Structure 1
Amino acid sequence: MTMNGKAYFVGLDGGTGGARAIVVDHDGNVVSMATHDYETTFPRPGWAEQTPADWWRAACLAVRQAVREAGIPAASVKAISADGTSSTLVALDGNLQPTMPAILWMDSRAAQQARRMTQTNDAALRRSRLGVSSEWMLPKILWIKESTPSIYERSRWFVEMTDYLALRLTGRLTLGLNHITNRWFYDGRRGGWPEDFFTRIGLGDITARFPDEILPLAEPIGPLTSEAADQLGLLPGTLVVCGGTDAYVAMVGLDVCRPGRTAFITGSSHLVLPMTDRDVEVPGIFGPHPDCVVPGLFVMEGGQVSSGSIVRWWHDHIGRLGQGGGDTYGDMLRQAESMPIGADGLVALDFWQGNRNPYIDYELQGALWGLTLKHTPAHMLRALIESVAYGTENILRTLRAHAISIETMVICGGATRTPFLTQMHADVCGIPIAVPKVLDATAFGSAINAAVGAGFYGSLPEASRHMVKESHVVEPDMRRNDAYGEVFEFYRETHEAMSPLMHRMARRGQETLRSGKTVDLALPDTAPRMAMAQPAE
């Protein structure tokens, strides 16, 4: 406790672009926040990699800065919890050192393995009937086994980014129930691991490479090690609490812990996450995932692989060209906002890293058509931004077609920083969007998770109700909704028309890749090493 009697909790978010740390008190008041970036590399089309040591370095800098700026003694921090990007694969050797760069969630190199898994029609696929995502862990692990067998043999353990951060915090190697339920085909209500399915796809030995200890959200893992505490600016023995997938942890930070509430996570990717008490399958939507956030409830998931990342690409490669060093993001978005709905006849597809939902097709690519000499870069950006909103609406229509009604959504992430983007989503989807006071819901959710794990609340729903507050609601303009609806039909018909060509192009690229030289994925001998005890096997 501090001198004023308050306890504080640290949430650590391992995002796509960097680590964010937040310090929160018992009532949900944010005291401080800090962020440090790390790099993503794209060595081949569809590939995306990061270096685990970079995550830890950024995490330490972010937590140390956040605690320092909070102006509180380290002893007042009662617990810390970390989340990470979903299906970011970390392969570790017997000494807990990475054997290769981490394969980032958006990486689609395992599309062929995912397709073969889908073709089995195994009972383990009941929560992804229309297809296995190449983003998920098992396709990526199978890709490693088939494409780089030497690395596979050296890889004693396969874990997620979240598990790696927990390992660096505590020295213990564990698996989070949250992400293995929504990404690894684990189903605690149906016997756990689908061993027969793993054997069928050529990974019959794989569970021996998964840590045995599986922990749910908000479960204590153990005390912070002395080494980690020194690097983070915290005290040894500070409680470390099990986290999970970033977007699912954000549900906690948005108070989406009860049936009938829906989280709308925006950022590099978009996610629509309804909480339900119904065990119902929706073709094209992942789920229902049982007990992965709140025991007894299910989460449905519809996502877009590339959303905010498209806007970031535009800024980095086109938007900042010719700018005089001013607010390039703001300038280019204001120009796009001034364009008419439909961008004067331009139509775009948001499939720059494939489509997660509702098509589950990672051989799709982005598209932009309708260009004339009238169009400007601002028109193009407008069409790209609209395509992201149409992708969200496509998911909502799929849910509605199967009696999953979404009456409103609670938003967080990058889109909330630009009212134009939030309003466009409300207008395109025709529903109100609630905006919470704390917009960084993922890091905030991790802090709430830490408070529950430390025993300051009895459950995640109880903590969320108390700690999460609403700021305002963005209401849809139904006249704009009608106009967007007309362009949305072009969006869907563009997918239907372009899909065969995109598949042909993807096959051509795969053939080129097979005929080329292989890439050595192993980390160099000079890669940073971390000292810690090996877990008992």
Structure 2
Amino acid sequence: MRKKYVIGLDFGSLSARGVLVALNNGKILTEAVTAYKRGILSATDVGSKELPPDTVLVDAMDYWYALRQLTGKLIEQSGVDPKEIGAMGIDFTASTVLPVDRNLIPLSEKAEYRWHFHAYTKLWKHHSASPWAEQLTELLKKYDRELLAVYGNRISAECLIPKVLEIFEKDRKVYDGAAYFLEAADWLLCKLTGKQIRSASFALCKGLWREKQGYPEAGLFAEIAPELENIPEQKLGAKNALYIYPWEKAGTLTEEAAEELKLCADTIVTGAQMDAHAGLPALGITDAGKVLLVVGTSTGIIFQGKSRKEIQGLCSIADYCDLPELIGYAAGQASTGDCLEWFIKNSVPGYCQEQAREAGKDIFSWLSEQAEKLKPGQNGLLALDWWNGNRSCLADQELSGLILGLGLETRPEEIYRALLEACAFGVKRIFKEVEQYGIPLKEIHACGGITQKNPLFMQIYADVTGKKIIVHRCEQAPALGMAIYAAAALPSVKGGYGSGAEEGPQTEAVRHAALSAASANMQSRDFEVYTPQEEYHRVYESMGEEFDRLYDYFGMENHVMKKLKQRQW
């Protein structure tokens, strides 16, 4: 039976989103959003008086409940016959990691582990694993510099294995009780298909895995502790797992999963993709030279190259992690929307809230209106956007935010604008680092909730970087991207864009052609272009020089931020 529709699902930090999409033209028939049931957990939620700094925990069952809700809503709202849905794809934050038993039950669901906070799912921005990330960095300098270069020469606490090592050191009962430590995306795929699936993109970019070499050699792990020598086989399931790319079929739904999701058991499930990367095909990015900015709680900066360059401080540099035949480069900022939300919650006085209410506006819109009245440099402020550490290109979670130039006359909207500018300067610094390696960044495509809601922010991006910013109005670009990946995995004989054969080897060229065709027919075509204002760009060029001085001084020359962080408790 030829299928007519595919589903794309996007699991973010605080909520999940889904779209039901027509295979022939990419029309989104309906979409759904659901907030997670429990959200980020407090110390009391996990039986603790307090949690260590930078600990960010969630309940894995939030994801399963959200998945069921989303597919149910999509079917109900659209009235589509589930038999007409051919495939589904999911994206996820990374690395969001959980320990499970052999039956894929999260340890946090078992009574004996309920008050062990390390049994809960560690969200991607759980940065208390930084010491173990540093340890891995030093060991890879000794054992495998080539692998270290894949991660910009520094392993991040946002990767999978540092989080696992933290559990080994801090709660041996949880470590010993876990059959597997899984990416949350892979946990869902295993439950959906009944197979031991590992998403190749996650493993390449966050898991220290390479397609030909596998994981680092046993000696590296044994140097940390003898019990860790065989950790890839014993705790990551490396020996029996299938590593699947997002444009490939991972399996079909089990009967049980199909019943829970209100779908059919012949529905194809693809390999998962990282959330910041998932929007590529949705915005028509299937070749080198184009950049994807995904602006949300954090910012993902994704671009492709035809050759490999070792760029210091990138999150990952991996073959085929995003698109067949291309080298995928990933960078980013650890705090964008989170930084702005922190400011709103903690530093905006009551009179601003009152004036916003009187104007019938939310506080973000009101502050943006006030900030737009200011010219570049008028506030006398300059900030570093490191509220959650620096992801690129310093790759240092021990760094912290900074605002320079505060005075008794400083107003909230001036600080707000300085934070917007700091985020834009951070993006420009990443572009600068990349372009000096000869990688052209010709087109900048932006998506994400903030890009829709904050025109001032997007104009500041253009003015600071000196580049046109193409802002796509597709509110669910990552979810649409996963629907397009699913369409590429669905064979053409069933209505998709894949090769006629469901199984068997395919060349990367064939896969690239399938994904390119799916993207060409299904991508979002609704966008707005922000063009740099030359007068403002000149001012920002001068301010950017001062930003770079602050960046270098606090990021590399002076360790006061790290010393303060170490005193935190």
TM-score, L = length of structure 1: 0.89
Q: Which amino acid aligns with 1:450?
A: A
- Distance of 1:286 and 1:171 partners within structure 2: 31
The structure 2 residue matched to 1:204, chosen from 229, 233, 249, is 229
- Residue 415 of structure 1 aligns with which residue? 450
Return the offset for 1:57.
1.2
Listed one character per residue, the Cα deviations across residues 457-489 of structure 1 (whole Å, up to 9, x for unaligned) are 132222112211433322222321121222222
- Residue 490 of structure 2 aligns with which residue? 454
Return the offset for 1:28.
0.9
- Residue 115 of structure 1 aligns with which residue? 134
- Distance of 1:171 and 1:330 partners within structure 2: 46
The structure 1 residue matched to 2:214, chosen from 192, 195, 200, is 192
Conservation of the 8 A alpha-carbon contact between 2:462 and 2:469: yes
Return the offset for 1:346.
1.5
| 1:25 equivalenced with 2:22 (yes/no) | yes
Conservation of the 8 A alpha-carbon contact between 2:289 and 2:443: no
Name the CA shift for 1:241/1:478 in 2 (closer, same or farther; >3 Å): same
**Residues 262-411 of structure 1 correspond to what in structure 2 (within 5 A)?**
262-319=291-348, 321=350, 322-323=353-354, 324=357, 326-342=361-377, 344-411=379-446
- Distance of 2:152 and 2:3 partners within structure 1: 48
User: Runs ≥4 in structure 1, deviation > 4 angstroms?
Assistant: 318-321
Conservation of the 8 A alpha-carbon contact between 2:8 and 2:479: yes
322-331 vs 93-102, which moves further: 322-331
Name the CA shift for 1:472/1:505 in 2 (closer, same or farther; >3 Å): same
- Helix, strand or coil for the counterpart of 1:262? strand
Conservation of the 8 A alpha-carbon contact between 2:100 and 2:178: yes
- Residue 464 of structure 1 aligns with which residue? 519
Conservation of the 8 A alpha-carbon contact between 2:428 and 2:465: yes
- Helix, strand or coil for the counterpart of 1:158? strand
Conservation of the 8 A alpha-carbon contact between 2:305 and 2:439: no
Q: Which amino acid aligns with 1:229?
A: A
- Distance of 1:447 and 1:320 partners within structure 2: 43
Return the offset for 1:219.
1.8
| 1:425 equivalenced with 2:461 (yes/no) | yes
- Distance of 1:215 and 1:179 partners within structure 2: 10
**Residues 101-140 of structure 1 correspond to what in structure 2 (within 5 A)?**
101-120=120-139, 121=141, 122-123=144-145, 124-140=147-163
Runs of 5+ in structure 1 lacking a partner?
Answer: 513-537
Alignment root-mean-square deviation, CA: 2.0
- Residue 491 of structure 1 aligns with which residue? 547
Return the offset for 1:6.
6.8
- Distance of 1:423 and 1:57 partners within structure 2: 38
- Distance of 1:285 and 1:223 partners within structure 2: 35
Return the offset for 1:154.
0.7
- Distance of 2:179 and 2:550 partners within structure 1: 45
Runs of 5+ in structure 2 lacking a partner?
Answer: 43-50, 108-118, 499-513
- Distance of 2:455 and 2:299 partners within structure 1: 16
Return the offset for 1:410.
1.2
Conservation of the 8 A alpha-carbon contact between 1:267 and 1:413: yes
- Residue 94 of structure 1 aligns with which residue? 102
State percent identity of aligned pairs: 29
- Distance of 1:176 and 1:416 partners within structure 2: 28
Q: Which amino acid aligns with 1:445?
A: G
Q: Which amino acid aligns with 2:198?
A: L
Q: Which amino acid aligns with 2:343?
A: W
**Residues 3-14 of structure 1 correspond to what in structure 2 (within 5 A)?**
7-14=4-11
159-168 vs 378-387, which moves further: 159-168
Name the CA shift for 1:373/1:138 in 2 (closer, same or farther; >3 Å): same
| 1:146 equivalenced with 2:166 (yes/no) | no
Return the offset for 1:110.
1.1
Conservation of the 8 A alpha-carbon contact between 2:7 and 2:21: yes
- Residue 533 of structure 1 aligns with which residue? none
| 1:174 equivalenced with 2:189 (yes/no) | no
Return the offset for 1:320.
8.4
- Distance of 2:93 and 2:200 partners within structure 1: 15
- Residue 481 of structure 1 aligns with which residue? 537
Conservation of the 8 A alpha-carbon contact between 2:282 and 2:524: no
- Distance of 1:59 and 1:320 partners within structure 2: 39
Listed one character per residue, the Cα deviations across residues 403-460 of structure 1 (whole Å, up to 9, x for unaligned) are 1221221111123212222221111111112233524221011111111122211322
Return the offset for 1:168.
3.2
Q: Which amino acid aligns with 1:432?
A: K
Conservation of the 8 A alpha-carbon contact between 1:130 and 1:283: yes
Conservation of the 8 A alpha-carbon contact between 2:52 and 2:128: no
Return the offset for 1:226.
3.5
Return the offset for 1:148.
1.3
Return the offset for 1:112.
0.9
- Distance of 1:226 and 1:334 partners within structure 2: 53
| 1:440 equivalenced with 2:476 (yes/no) | yes
- Distance of 1:468 and 1:129 partners within structure 2: 31
TM-score, L = length of structure 2: 0.84
- Helix, strand or coil for the counterpart of 1:182? helix
Q: Which amino acid aligns with 1:446?
A: M
